[in-house]
Amino acid sequence: MAAGTRTQIRSVEGFLALDSRANPTVGARVVLEGGAVGEAIVPSGASTGTHEAVERRDGGTEWNGKGVSGAIAAVGGELATMVVGMDATEQRLIDEAMIVADGTDDKHRIGANAMLAVSLATARAAAGALDVPLYRYLGGVGAHRLPVPMLNVINGGVHASNNLDIQEFLIIPHGAATFGEALRWGVEIYHRLRSELLAKGHSVAVGDEGGFAPDLGSHEEALELMVAAIEASGLVPGRDCSLGLDAAASEFWREGRYVMVGQGLELEADGLVEYMARLVDQFPIVSLEDAMAEEDWDGWSILTERLASRVQLVGDDIFVTNPGLLGKGIERGVANAILIKLNQIGTLTETLDVVDLATRSGYRSVISHRSGETEDTTIADLAVGLGTGQIKTGAPARSERAAKYNRLLAIERELGPGARYVDWTRAQR
């Protein structure tokens, strides 16, 4: 069988899966003429930007309105009809065909969840047909850099039912020699933090992404506990392991002001910038994500001018993995990094293009999970394949999060002496 025939798409099937919040989501199975099979399952977010590509949901009463039967039908119907017979290695042509067929700016007709499932399953099938791991298929022979994990160990905001307004408190073990060592440090800190919380009488129930979700007196108390856990693990805060925050500020943006109910604060944009700056002064914070709301471009400008020389400023809701919005940010000089979520844009090719634009413009890219995750490990391969050097995929607990870490450990073993782990924070010291 000729190589081209072997990689032609023979069939496409959609299926239902559950995400980590017990909501239905979309999966796709792509079979090639040579027998290779690729499967992918799409995640779902809770803290979502208003400009994200649209998840297609059924509404109605089944699954509490969150059903995806329409999206699954689109996978096995309209999208299958379109891509069957195409060469799976022509990822750009396949993705562009789906985008054109949808015909909307936000993919609401067919659904970004349906399109992404087919896009990712196609890439997996192509990699299988060529007998290479997905990271190698995506990144070629240069794919060898393991990402620094950003582990969400305390959850707040919409990811937890507590009094913390900031959504994610992250530990970043950037000073390790290898990914395996970094993950071990992260796990040890996570367990030390659990012990510290218990000793102080706090709950150790976890939020959507596996981080603890206690009621604490302040954001500062959360950060103090994290620093103490790093030190109790025999590590040096700021040298071995630093901190990060995902404020998800759009969630507490109210008519032009930032209202942090749990902290008893109501601030203008410049006030929130100064609040964040004080936290950076007090604690070894190296990354701030969504520290301003997605519509507050002026606030982002103030933030960038104030803190870009000191910390990584990651845009998630403001950019939503969209080249147009990232281009606007580059033009206005806001942020210096972008969070990359596949389902915000809806196809693999568009995601690759956004990472390329960011890299060419001097912005870092952080590959990210969503709060509603599955056992799909595509983002682990994506981080290595693109060499972005950073990944956010939750605490080292809950199997849908651990699956990504376990995949990265497997990739590190496979790469052997060729694996590299690079401390990206050195560039901003």
- Assign 382 a pLDDT band (cuts: 50, 70, 90): very high
- The structure's pTM equals 0.96
- Assign 283 a pLDDT band (cuts: 50, 70, 90): very high
Residues 335, 426: Cα–Cα separation, whole Å: 18
Instruction: Please give the single-letter amino acid code of residue 196.
Output: E
Tens digits of residue pLDDT in 27-46? 999 999 999 999 999 999 77
Tens digits of residue pLDDT in 68-112? 999 999 999 999 999 999 999 999 999 999 999 999 999 999 999
33, 39, 52, 209: which one is catalytic? 209
Instruction: State yes or no: 69 annotated in a binding site.
Output: no
With a CB cutoff of 8 Å and minimum separation 6, the contacts of 31 are 9, 10, 11, 12, 13, 37, 125
- State percent of the chain over pLDDT 90: 92
33, 52, 196, 341: which one is catalytic? 341
Instruction: State yes or no: 200 annotated in a binding site.
Output: no
Number of residues that make up the chain: 429
Tens digits of residue pLDDT in 226-263? 999 999 999 999 999 999 999 999 999 998 999 999 89
Return left, alpha or beta for 387; rule: phi > 0 is left, psi -120 to 50 is alpha, else beta: left
Rounded to an integer, the average pLDDT of 143-163 is 88
| Six token digits for residue 341 | 């979520």
Burial degree of 235 (CB within 10 A; 0-12, 13-18, 19+): buried
- Tell me the CB-side half-sphere exposure of residue 89, using CA atoms within 13 A: 16
Active site residue 196: no
The pLDDT score that the predictor gives to residue 159 is 60
Instruction: State yes or no: 341 annotated in a binding site.
Output: yes
Residues 401, 369: Cα–Cα separation, whole Å: 8
Which of helix, strand or coil describes residue 254?
strand
The pLDDT score that the predictor gives to residue 156 is 87
Instruction: State yes or no: 47 annotated in a binding site.
Output: no
Instruction: State yes or no: 316 annotated in a binding site.
Output: yes
- The DSSP code for 235 is -
Return left, alpha or beta for 333; rule: phi > 0 is left, psi -120 to 50 is alpha, else beta: left
Residue among 163, 167, 228 at smallest CA distance from 195: 228
For the chain, the distance separating the N- and C-terminal CA atoms, rounded to the nearest angstrom, is: 55
Residue among 100, 96, 93, 72 at smallest CA distance from 12: 72
Backbone angles phi, psi at 7, to 5 degrees: -100, 10
Active site residue 209: yes
Q: Per CATH, is 140-427 categorized as 1.10.1740.10? A: no
Instruction: State yes or no: 282 annotated in a binding site.
Output: no
Instruction: State yes or no: 195 annotated in a binding site.
Output: no
- The DSSP code for 79 is I
Q: What DSSP line would sit under 332-399, residue for residue?
A: HT--SEEEE-HHHH-SHHHHHHHHHHHHHTT-EEEEE--SB--S--HHHHHHHHHT--EEE---S-SH
**Do residues 390 and 359 touch, judged by C-beta distance below 8 A?**
no
Tens digits of residue pLDDT in 261-278? 989 999 999 999 999 999
Residues 369, 408: Cα–Cα separation, whole Å: 14
Tens digits of residue pLDDT in 324-362? 999 999 999 999 999 999 999 999 999 999 999 999 999
| Whether the predicted pLDDT of 410 surpasses 80 | yes
Backbone angles phi, psi at 161, to 5 degrees: -100, 65
154 has which bridge partners?
A: 169, 212
The pLDDT score that the predictor gives to residue 428 is 65
Instruction: State yes or no: 328 annotated in a binding site.
Output: no
Instruction: State yes or no: 167 annotated in a binding site.
Output: yes
Report the CATH architecture of 8-131: 2-Layer Sandwich (3.30)
Each residue of 108-122: b (16+ CB within 10 Å) or e?
Answer: eebbbbbbbbbbbbb
Per-domain boundaries in the chain: 8-131, 140-427
